[in-house]
Amino acid sequence: MEQQMTVLPLRQSGVLLHPTSFPSEYGIGDLGSYAYAFIDFLEAAGQSLWQILPLGHTGYGDSPYQAFSAFAGQPLVISPQKLIEQGFLSKEDFCDMPLWDALKIDYGPVINYKFSILNKAFNRFQSQPEHPLQKDFIIFCSAEAFWLEDYALFMSLKDAHNGEIWTQWPNEIAFPNKEAKQKWASILEEQVRFYKFIQFIFNIQWNSLKQYANSKQIQIIGDIPIFVSFDSADVWASKELFLLDSKGNPSFVAGVPPDYFSEIGQLWGNPLYNWDYHRQENYKWWISRIRYGLKYTDYLRIDHFRGFEACWAIPFGSPNAINGSWTKGPDKELFKALEAALGNNLPIIAEDLGIITDSVRELRDSFAFPGMKILQFAFENIEDNDYLPHHHCYNSICYSGTHDNDTSLGWYLKASSQSQDKFRRYFNTDGNCVSWDFVRACFSSSSKMAIVPLQDILSQDSSCRMNTPGTTLNNWQYRYNPDMLSVELTKALLDISVLYGRTDASENTNI
């Protein structure tokens, strides 16, 4: 009797790394040659997933989760080298470039320098009316007008008012009608065109990198925060979508109550949505946002997914997040509208961390969205818990840690003796190679996807942490050196991926 072949479920693995962390001689990671080299590393190491943080144009604090627009891309990751190749910059434009720290981003000077370079590129573009990209620019501006017009005008107005928050602008432009927008778009025409240009260039460079990744069978997991920044084009231009008072200030702001990360909770400050208005519009804005996000990535992780069921509403002006209350969200209704517009089986990952109730789980499971399993959480206490690998279900994503966690080595060195002992006994390890113990545990999990931050693959300590929730200093600065992605490291990652059925060794012959 012929034995039938067992068809095993698909298992994937990948690396969490934001583009700002790439090596680059320009002070911050960008979409140039080192981004492509990272994709080559993933392919050679048998990985099929690359997870990033939100790609938005960051504002005060440099957090990817606080952007000037829910749609605009991050100008800081535009590659100057590619602008040289396109003829918009020359090598002479960089003769006075400062020397940058190769392993840490100094955002203030980097922002000033990169925008001076982008302005030079824009002026060169303006002076070349016959350049073949001029027609593409016109097409891009027309296709993306639904968000690009407001974003470009908002940023130009911010520049004209020394970066002040929009509620500090004169009423004519803080609460503009159509005529006022047209008037100021004409006054600031050149600057408006500049912001459209940098979004056009970002679009070209990101799409090229995504196509390259996809050609290597690598899918990109994007990330969007559930809420938008108060000081953003979205709130300024579409106040009706949010709960604001007559002066434009939020009635309530978003955050989370005291939890694992903070004893006073986290006060994010984002305005809450006016879900009644969204419902009347059949969630048109959200449909546009998700559709747009999936144009740039293959999956979307939605940060703070539980906020769709209920969010922690904190009175505006509160000093911390302690005195909030749970306010109901749109729940299943929103995702039914998304499915009706975008199709079933949406490629969404639910960030279901924090205080998760049965109602949140029901919302997640009703649409078969995979949730997240963080291995560090599994060993915070000696009790049994859902984060331990033997409890993982297939429809989940296993992480050693996320951008909000310490590195795995950093976590272990600071963990209690009970947590360290539980970790060693659970994995039958001596604790001398903690980072790779975590990688191995993550990849061996029954979760369909396994994701590890690059810092864990590199066995880095707390000095390489990406973000510490509840703090505003020394975050989002991490970078690595290209020499760190050695042949030995690549082979080690490939071997462990093959061992746990997350790649096919026959597909990887580049080492």
- List the structure tokens of 282: 């059949």
Q: Which of 351, 406, 437, 456 is catalytic?
A: 351
- The string of DSSP codes covering 371-402 is EEEEHHHHTSSSS--TTSGGG--SSEEEES--
Q: Classify strands 12-16 and 49-51 as parallel, antiparallel or unpaired.
A: parallel
Alpha helices (H) along 415-506: 417-427, 434-444, 454-457, 487-499
Active-site residue identified among 30, 144, 352, 404: 404
Q: Whats the size of the chain, residue-wise?
A: 511
**Cα(336)–Cα(338) distance, integer angstroms:** 5
Asked whether the beta carbons of 180 and 173 are under 8 A apart, the reply is yes
Q: Which amino acid is at 82?
A: K
HSE-CB at 64 with a 13 A cutoff on CA atoms is 25
End-to-end, the C-alpha distance of the chain in Å comes to 41
DSSP annotation of 221 reads: E
Rounded to 5 degrees, what are φ and ψ at 271? -70, 150
Q: Quick check: is 384 catalytic?
A: no
Would residue 172 show up in a list of annotated catalytic residues for this protein? no
Cα atoms in the 13 Å half-sphere on the side-chain side of 453: 31
Active site residue 303: yes
Give the separation between CA 334 and CA 456, rounded to whole angstroms.
Answer: 36
The angle at the Cα of 222, spanning 217 to 223, to the nearest 5 degrees, equals 160
Exposed/middle/buried for residue 361 (C-beta within 10 Å: 0-12, 13-18, 19+): middle
Cα–Cα distances (Å) from 32 to 63, 82, 204, 246, 295, in that order, read 22, 6, 12, 45, 20
Give the Cα separation of 482 and 474 in Å (integer): 22
Sequence-distant (6+) residues with CB within 8 A of 112 are none
The active-site residue out of 30, 144, 303, 352 is 303
Helix (H) or strand (E) holding 16: strand 12-16
Amino acid at 28: I
Phi, psi angles (nearest 5°) of residue 426: -60, -40
Which residues lie across from 104 on neighbouring strands? 478
Is 402:396 a contact under the CB 8 Å cutoff? no
What proportions of the chain, in percent to the nearest 5, are helix, strand and coil?
45, 15, 40
**Joined tokens for residue 138:** 């016109």
CB of 54 closer than 8 Å to CB of 226: no
3-state secondary structure of 313: strand
Q: What residues are labeled active site?
A: 303, 351, 404
